[in-house]
Structure 1
Amino acid sequence: MNEHKGLALALECLVEAPRPQVFSLLSEPEWLAKWWGPAGFTLPAATTDFRVGGSYRFSMQPPEGELFHLAGEFLEIEPPVRLVYTFRWEEPAPDDRQTVVVLLLEEEANATRIFLEQRSFATEERLELHRAGWTESFAKLRELLSSLQ
């Protein structure tokens, strides 16, 4: 399958923090547990083997309903600039498929701009679900950073 075809999600998020700190928040399980997931969701378990070829697995708890899981493999790790990994649901919906997430971090004055790209989605509905999830997750990340200052 050609990963450059299909539906892609692109988002930007400006956060008031230095790039090395933001990279840590995007990659370390103890920090991910504090902001990952849409509004109301928690991350009760996150394990990572943080190396190229290493894997990760997150357990997400929605406000109501059963715990569910996502996992993947780290494809590129370039601290504090770039992080690339696969993303797949362990209990996929019929139109889910593995995607690739690319996170780029650029320094901007006293802040960091996060560029996110995720592709290739099978349907617009799955893309929009991820857009909502990432948008809410980034809002939680900004809240976390303002609470740390």
Structure 2
Amino acid sequence: MTNDAGLVLHLRCELPAASAEVFRALTEPRELARWWGPDGFTIPAVESDLRPGGAYRIDMRPPEGALFHLAGEFLDVDPPRLLRYTFRWEEPDPEDRETVVTLELRDLGEGAAGLVLTQGEFATERRRALHEEGWTQSFGKLERLLTPP
């Protein structure tokens, strides 16, 4: 994975599945709950109305701590190549602000897909770095989930 500096987060990764399969893992609540969040987090519930203007909400539980929530609205849904949505914490840190996440997919051939994430703009470098760590760990779990046995 690679990233750029600044208060916008950019990550790229290659995943061992075609774009359609990756898009499904990014959008189907049951699949999303299997890989979403930093290492050790669990996802007790995902609600999703996958259409432009539709809302989503993800319940997240850290290894030790109380349940918290992430919510937003889908802006663009173009399977299997593009997903764009707002991202906001329902119990925000004072340094948080709503951001926009863009996930772009393209087939690389031989059952692999390239995924590019852009998220921003963050209020502080500390929050951008926290999201970079969370996405990096999440994408690691997604890669393991998609890797054939």
- Alignment of 1:13 onto 2:13: yes
List per-residue Cα deviations over 1:85-129 (Å, max 9, x = no partner).
000000000010000000000111220010000011000000000
Q: TM-score, with normalisation over the residues of structure 2?
A: 0.94
2:99 is aligned to: 99
Aligned length: 143
SS of corresponding position for 2:119: strand
Distance 1:74 1:88 in 2: 12
Distance 1:51 1:145 in 2: 24
Distance 2:135 2:13 in 1: 10
Distance 2:76 2:15 in 1: 22
1:114 is aligned to: 115
Report deviation, 1:130. Answer: 0.1
Report deviation, 1:142. Answer: 0.7
CA RMSD of superposed structures (Å): 1.0
Distance 2:88 2:37 in 1: 14
2:144 is aligned to: 143
Report deviation, 1:7. Answer: 1.5
List per-residue Cα deviations over 1:15-43 (Å, max 9, x = no partner).
01011000000011010010000000011
1:44 is aligned to: 44
Distance 2:57 2:44 in 1: 11
- Alignment of 1:68 onto 2:68: yes
Q: Which runs of 4+ in 1 moved over 4 A?
A: none
SS of corresponding position for 1:95: coil
In the alignment, residue 15 of structure 1 is paired with which amino acid? Answer: L
In the alignment, residue 81 of structure 1 is paired with which amino acid? Answer: R
Distance 2:51 2:102 in 1: 15
Give structure 1 stretches of 5+ with no counterpart.
Answer: 1-5
Give structure 2 stretches of 5+ with no counterpart.
Answer: 1-5
Distance 1:23 1:143 in 2: 15
